[in-house]
Amino acid sequence: MKQGTIPKATVARLPLYLQCMQSMAPTETTVSSETLARMANLNPANVRKDLSFLGSHGVRGVGYDRLHLCMQIKLELGLIEAWQVIIVGVGNLGSALANYGGFEAAGFDVVGLYDADPEKIGMEFHGHMVRPVSALASDIAGSPIAMAIITTPALAAQEIADTLVDCGIRSILNFAPAVIQTPPGVECRHVDLATELQILSYYQARQA
Amino acid sequence: MKQGTIPKATVARLPLYLQCMQSMAPTETTVSSETLARMANLNPANVRKDLSFLGSHGVRGVGYDRLHLCMQIKLELGLIEAWQVIIVGVGNLGSALANYGGFEAAGFDVVGLYDADPEKIGMEFHGHMVRPVSALASDIAGSPIAMAIITTPALAAQEIADTLVDCGIRSILNFAPAVIQTPPGVECRHVDLATELQILSYYQARQA
DNA sequence: AGCTGTGAACATATTCACAGCC
DNA sequence: GGCTGTGAATATGTTCACAGCT
């Protein structure tokens, strides 16, 4: 019931609950914290506490109405309208993400691809022509583009991020293997694929 | 100095320190907790505490010897020898990851690609022929393959994971948009690309 | 009876503050 | 003087346990 500000850890789990509920059979109209917990590999109390931040939407003795809960989570996450997203860096990963259907499925529109390499300009992926990074500023100005995905090499990432921030982008998803510095007010998430394997390596190394 | 068991949060940051140090000029032979903290967007005390779990490798008044620290971290993470990794699911993402140089750069060897789709069998990416998932068991048995990356559609992910676990794989990096259940002793990390955007959406929606 | 919502207890993680050493 | 290493303090996150509602 503590409306207003949701703990980071909870925010990071809300999309997971959405995913779990979307994978349930359509006949399942209600869902309990225990079911969700089992699907998400969490503790039921954790699920209940998370959902309580959205307000009291459960019914005691019954559970949560699945569709209603999905809607509440989408509302809270700001997923009612599709955000427009651009991808900067059309290498292996960037072009794969451009073709990846998961972003659309999750409610995002990939509306533009950019690259610094003149050879890539004009290539088409997923119905979008690759445009030069020099066009970023004018393309973003006055457009509703809110988020950017960086899939450039590490060395280019910071410069691209600076450009994006200058253009008014305030949400960045960075796949380049480099930490990016952004001013306050800009949210930047870093997903490093090799890092994930290195973390696994630690646990792999100390078993068996 | 508290040898033996390292907190999860620290383990997740060790690769970051490696990355930061690898991006420094070769002339920089020592590095301070403050420098590392600035590069990694962390608090210097946090860095020092993290590194203290590796033992006392710093010199008061000076800092840490860069090469020595890199080696200590690699040792701790089990990155001295290259782990062999396979990729299951050669769609957009899987093939991009097969071609992605970052895993090799981070000390992993992608040694095999697998897919369930007969049309994909025999295709070549990054010097590897795609093999059928039915060959997984015999390919893994007796081989040093330790880790697997799942890039299948959501619906196939659990079944593939079960197969991998049966084959003795104990470290799984899952990119499929589905939670995977694994028995104790199997470490499974889940990276969901759409989820990352959805988390950003929350913060994007409540600013400006 | 069954399940939510939540205060209290516990666990983990981060930051402070400073002693200790170069 | 400058930087590490670390106990203590704080903040955040998770789990328990149970009251409260249907």
Do both B71 and B93 map to the same domain?
Answer: no
pLDDT surpassing 80 at residue A52: yes
Write down the pLDDT at residue A24. 96
B160 part of a folded domain: yes
pLDDT surpassing 80 at residue A148: yes
B20 part of a folded domain: yes
Q: Determine which of A92, A145, A191 to mutate to test the interface with B (most B C-beta atoms within 10 Å).
A: A92
Write down the pLDDT at residue A207. 80
Chain B CB within 8 Å of residue A192 CB = yes
Query: What confidence tens digit (pLDDT) does each residue in A31-42 have?
Result: 999 999 999 999
Chain B CB within 8 Å of residue A19 CB = yes
Amino acid at B3: Q
How far is the alpha carbon of B63 from chain A, nearest alpha carbon, in Å? 21
Domain limits for position B175: 83-195
Q: Determine which of B41, B103, B201, B206 to mutate to test the interface with A (most A C-beta atoms within 10 Å).
A: B201
Output the CA–CA distances (angstroms, integers) from residue B100 to A143, B32, B133, in the order listed: 32, 32, 21
Do both B70 and B119 map to the same domain?
Answer: no
Q: Is residue A85's beta carbon less than 7 angstroms from any atom in nucleic acid strand C?
A: no
Do both B107 and B178 map to the same domain?
Answer: yes
How far is the alpha carbon of A61 from chain B, nearest alpha carbon, in Å? 27
Do both B127 and B189 map to the same domain?
Answer: yes
A106 part of a folded domain: yes
A201 part of a folded domain: no
Write down the pLDDT at residue B3. 57
B129 part of a folded domain: yes
Do both A96 and A169 map to the same domain?
Answer: yes
Q: Which residue has the tokens 């990054």?
A: B126
Please report the sign of the dihedral spanned by the C-alpha atoms of residue B127, residue B133, residue B139, residue B143. Answer: positive
Instruction: Please say which residue of B57, B77, B97 terminates a domain.
Output: B77
Distance between CA atoms of residues A175 and A193, nearest Å: 8
Which CATH number does the domain housing residue A23 bear?
1.10.10.10
Output the CA–CA distances (angstroms, integers) from residue A38 to A25, A205, B119, B158, B181, in the order listed: 15, 28, 36, 14, 9
Write down the pLDDT at residue B85. 97
Mean pLDDT over the full length of chain A:
95
Query: What confidence tens digit (pLDDT) does each residue in A175-200 have?
Result: 999 999 999 999 999 999 999 999 99
Which CATH number does the domain housing residue A127 bear?
3.40.50.720
Do both B24 and B118 map to the same domain?
Answer: no
Instruction: Please say which residue of B45, B77, B109 terminates a domain.
Output: B77
Q: Which residues of B touch A178 (CB under 8 A)?
A: 19, 23
Do both A60 and A126 map to the same domain?
Answer: no
Do both A105 and A181 map to the same domain?
Answer: yes
A206 part of a folded domain: no
Q: How many CB pairs under 8 A join A and B?
A: 196
- Does the distance separating the beta carbons of B79 and A194 come in below 8 Å? no
Choose among B143, B191, B190: nearest CA to B169. Answer: B143
Write down the pLDDT at residue B51. 98
Instruction: Please say which residue of B77, B107, B129 terminates a domain.
Output: B77
* Residue in chain A nearest B16 by alpha carbon: A195
B201 part of a folded domain: no
Q: Which residues of A touch B70 (CB under 8 A)?
A: none
B99-CA/D1-C1' distance, Å? 50
Write down the pLDDT at residue B2. 47
B83-CA/D3-C1' distance, Å? 36
Query: What confidence tens digit (pLDDT) does each residue in B192-203 have?
Result: 999 999 999 999
Q: Following CA atoms B17, B23, B25, B30 in sequence, which dihedral angle do they give, to the nearest 10 degrees?
A: 0
pLDDT under 50 in chain B at which residues? 1-2
Confidence of residue A2 (pLDDT cuts 50, 70, 90): very low
The 10 Å CB-count burial string (b at 16+, else e) for A122-151 is eeebbebebbebeebeebbeeeebbbbbbb
Do both B136 and B57 map to the same domain?
Answer: no
B30 part of a folded domain: yes
Do both A60 and A107 map to the same domain?
Answer: no
Quote the number of domains for chain B: 2
